[in-house]
Structure 1
Amino acid sequence: MTVVLASVVMEVATFDTRRKLDNALQLERDLGLLLSTLLDAETGQRGYLLTGQNDYLEPYHLALDTVAPILARIGGKVREDSIQQLRLQRVNALTADKFRELSQTLVLHTTEQRDSLYMLFDGKLDETLMDRIRHTIDLLRQEELEDIARRYRQVNRLSSITTVLRLIGVVGLALVFYYIYTQLRPLFAQKLRIIADRDHEIEERIRIERMNTDLIATLNLKNRELDQFAYTASHDLREPLRTVRNYVEILTEDHAEQLDDEGHAHLHLIHRTTDRMRVLIDSLLQYSRVGVGEQLVQVDLQRTLTEVLENLQFAIERSAAIVTVSALPRVPGYPIALRQLFQNLLTNALKFHPPGVPPQVTISAHCTSDRAVVYVQDNGIGMTKADQQRIFALFERLHPADIYEGQGIGLAFCQKIVQLHRGELTVTSKISQGSTFSVALPLADVHEETGPNTPD
């Protein structure tokens, strides 16, 4: 039991470290993007002041539109650290000051207030602001890197402890086998003596039968204990979440009058968080076992889409969606995994659409000599080019959960299924103009030598 618990702790710590590393890498990218955007805006402003050409103001106008979303993404990544939040607030304030300074110079240039403009540049306010922004961003980066280093050290310590515990478990298992061997060896010797001594055959048979009966009873008891252990282990993984949920319900039902609005809000947040944790555990298990145990066969995608539409019939009717499916080919693949792939893509198409606008989804295909490409096109909210590179990452979300529900795992799930089939999944999209997901699958059976998909 100790070894099992240590292994679980190790896996949780490792998962948390990887999540933190991904978060730090994304934070680094966004901080770099913020700096480059501000520098481009400043460079464009100076070009405009020198030449008077409006083309130089394009980076400035682009920065006005993109800096706020970048800061919002950074805020989401440091929301659990109060010190980092204070530094982000300082970056927000300095960025606002920078935009006011840029705007002020443009106004002075437009109104031809040359003396005020020269005084502003002589004060070197822009350089001071950029230095302060760089310094604060460096503090943000340094804190994230130190946190990652701490987590790696924790994982290394846990790994050492787990190795020792597993060694102890192996030694204990060897002792158990030796004990069983020492217990069973007299039985075999006694049986040989029974064969040699016919006079005591009946008596010995009775004695051995009794011993066998006791041994079988003992083995049955051990089997029941092992079954109970397996149940308890799986149950205990969810028990803490269940306990928290039960106490939240008790507080909500029995002590509602003693709680203010903030207390009710906290309880509601805990309730939603435990639900997300449960769904996340189930999603990760499903993600890790994509295609496991399935046999590669020829899959009729037309039939697969028919089954998917039957599964999503309620969602289609509720959203008043129009789904059009053209002729689709047959491809070699894993039936359940492919059905899950297109169900996830169609679910996204039904979910991410503007309020009040019924979804329109078109599913078509184009075949070449060696592969089939299936297109899932919608009229949804679309996404930026930068977001198109992010959506296939595990736990990556483009929208808050209170606007569009989900765990940020659906498209990562789709990507893994397509990779399992040696295919390619891409997306083209524009904001407010919908998205088109392209699923390229090989028509030749590239899995012939591998056979059924089994766990590693």
Structure 2
Amino acid sequence: MFLFAPNAELLVDKNGIIVKINHQVEKLFGYEREELVGKKVEYLIPERIVHTRLIIDKYLRAPVRREMSESKDFLVKRKDGSEFFIEIGLNPIKLENKIFISASIRDVSARVHLVNKLQQSLTAIKNKNKELEQFTYIAAHDLQEPLNTVTGFVELLNEQYKGRLDKNADKYLQFITKASSRMRFLIRGLLDYARIGRERKLSMVDCNKLVTEIQYDFAFSIAETNTTFIIDKLPQVYGCELELSILFQNLISNAIKFRKEGTAPQIKISSEKEGNYWKFSVQDNGIGLAEEHKKKIFIIYQQLNARTEYKGFGLGLAFCQKIVELHGGKIWVDSVPNKGSTFYFTILNSNNL
């Protein structure tokens, strides 16, 4: 059984001397049995890897059972000098009143290589996202100056020439004024979007307190629309209080804004623990949305309804998505047209943000 085990298996004594190996060890490391038996197990470790040698010495002084899943990956070398990563399971056994260590070895080079590539890709994506955010911030900031110039001259034209030119000129000036105003709001929105995640202050945030404060802020809209709330006990989460406030504000604001005609908005906010996350839901009884729009609504500047009917620039849910992702979670929506929507989002229950 030992000789033909599927994993590479070797047996060492309490001094770390290899006393027995199976065929898989010969195949994996490229040595014949006679070349390894009698050698110290450190023979398989590259000389420059001092830390691994110290770990082996420490383990041999107090050997305990250790599963492969509990082990770190170790760098080892073959007979030809090539190096690769292994994971190893260890099991102290007693033979003829002597303690030996049975080691089960598995080549995990492919996995380590894949993890490293994924880490490199993730780092590259993070760097690109950072560059893109910086570009967005700078571009939006620099656009403000020429826009201010255009707006200033349009105001001068309005003051000095309104009614003194033909009717078309007045109408054109009005179009330019409205377009400039809209452009100003779009640039401000872009700047606000780029600012999310910059200079964050992280702390434990009481979500119940946060929602209560938002209700006070929306007191006029709530009274005007007869909005009612059902709010379960919400948890404390680790995050940026300002960002989480913007998240709840946007979801509550949308629930009030996109109400059905003749129906008072009802908003239910609840949460539940799911593994390492808190899952929140914000449910309303509003106009809902169609299946094909469920992903579009999180794209910046996306508006599904006529601007004349519902004011806004399509920024709120894009803000929400960015904030949730910065808190290690995701956001999605379930919705039925004319029945309402439920927005779900998760927040990582950790202080490793």
What TM-score do you get using the length of structure 1 for normalisation?
A: 0.44
Once the two structures are TM-superposed, the CA of residue 280 in structure 1 deviates from its matched residue by 1.8
Equivalent positions of 1:277-426 (< 5 A) are 277-426=183-332
Within 1, Cα distance between the matches of 2:189 and 2:345? 22
Within 1, Cα distance between the matches of 2:273 and 2:318? 25
Within 2, Cα distance between the matches of 1:414 and 1:424? 10
Within 2, Cα distance between the matches of 1:430 and 1:261? 47
Distance 1:356 1:250, change over 3 A: farther
Distance 1:267 1:418, change over 3 A: same
Aligned to 2:172: 266
Match of 2:163, SS?
helix
- For residues 137-180 of structure 1, what are the alpha-carbon distances to aligned partners after superposition, in whole Å with 9 as ceiling and x for unaligned? xxxxxxxxxxxxxxxxxxxxxxxxxxxxxxxxxxxxxxxxxxxx
The unaligned stretches of length 5 or more in structure 1 are 1-233, 448-456
Within 2, Cα distance between the matches of 1:261 and 1:377? 49
- For residues 342-394 of structure 1, what are the alpha-carbon distances to aligned partners after superposition, in whole Å with 9 as ceiling and x for unaligned? 11111111111233433221112222343221111111111100000111112
Q: Is the 8 A contact 1:337 1:417 kept in 2?
A: yes
Q: Is the 8 A contact 2:269 2:282 kept in 1?
A: yes
**Matched residue type, 1:288:** A
Distance 1:287 1:327, change over 3 A: same
Within 2, Cα distance between the matches of 1:331 and 1:242? 41
Distance 1:266 1:378, change over 3 A: farther
- For residues 121-142 of structure 1, what are the alpha-carbon distances to aligned partners after superposition, in whole Å with 9 as ceiling and x for unaligned? xxxxxxxxxxxxxxxxxxxxxx
How big is the alpha-carbon RMSD for the aligned residues of Structure 1 and Structure 2? 2.5
- For residues 368-423 of structure 1, what are the alpha-carbon distances to aligned partners after superposition, in whole Å with 9 as ceiling and x for unaligned? 34322111111111110000011111221112222212121211111011000111
Distance 1:270 1:371, change over 3 A: same
Distance 1:373 1:236, change over 3 A: closer
Once the two structures are TM-superposed, the CA of residue 278 in structure 1 deviates from its matched residue by 1.5
- For residues 219-254 of structure 1, what are the alpha-carbon distances to aligned partners after superposition, in whole Å with 9 as ceiling and x for unaligned? xxxxxxxxxxxxxxx997534323333443344444
Match of 1:391, SS?
helix
Count matched residues: 215
Once the two structures are TM-superposed, the CA of residue 300 in structure 1 deviates from its matched residue by 0.9
Correspondence for 1:437 among 334, 343, 346: 343
Aligned to 2:151: 245
Correspondence for 1:276 among 178, 182, 196: 182
Q: Is the 8 A contact 1:291 1:336 kept in 2?
A: no
Match of 1:417, SS?
helix
Once the two structures are TM-superposed, the CA of residue 290 in structure 1 deviates from its matched residue by 1.3
Match of 1:303, SS?
helix
Within 1, Cα distance between the matches of 2:233 and 2:217? 20
Higher helix share: 1
Match of 2:193, SS?
helix
Distance 1:289 1:430, change over 3 A: same
Within 1, Cα distance between the matches of 2:264 and 2:174? 31
Once the two structures are TM-superposed, the CA of residue 267 in structure 1 deviates from its matched residue by 2.8
Within 1, Cα distance between the matches of 2:157 and 2:264? 40
Higher strand share: 2
Q: Is the 8 A contact 2:143 2:187 kept in 1?
A: no
Distance 1:356 1:267, change over 3 A: farther
Within 2, Cα distance between the matches of 1:309 and 1:424? 24
- For residues 317-352 of structure 1, what are the alpha-carbon distances to aligned partners after superposition, in whole Å with 9 as ceiling and x for unaligned? 233322332211111111111111111111111111
Match of 1:291, SS?
coil
Within 1, Cα distance between the matches of 2:287 and 2:144? 36
Match of 2:289, SS?
coil
Higher deviation after alignment, 375-384 or 365-374: 365-374
Aligned to 2:104: none
Within 2, Cα distance between the matches of 1:372 and 1:281? 33
Q: Is the 8 A contact 2:163 2:170 kept in 1?
A: no
Distance 1:235 1:378, change over 3 A: closer
**Matched residue type, 1:375:** S
Within 2, Cα distance between the matches of 1:280 and 1:432? 29
Aligned to 1:27: none
Distance 1:260 1:393, change over 3 A: same
Once the two structures are TM-superposed, the CA of residue 282 in structure 1 deviates from its matched residue by 1.7
What TM-score do you get using the length of structure 2 for normalisation?
A: 0.55
Within 2, Cα distance between the matches of 1:315 and 1:262? 39
Within 2, Cα distance between the matches of 1:243 and 1:387? 38
Match of 1:338, SS?
helix
Q: Is the 8 A contact 1:241 1:274 kept in 2?
A: yes
Match of 1:367, SS?
strand
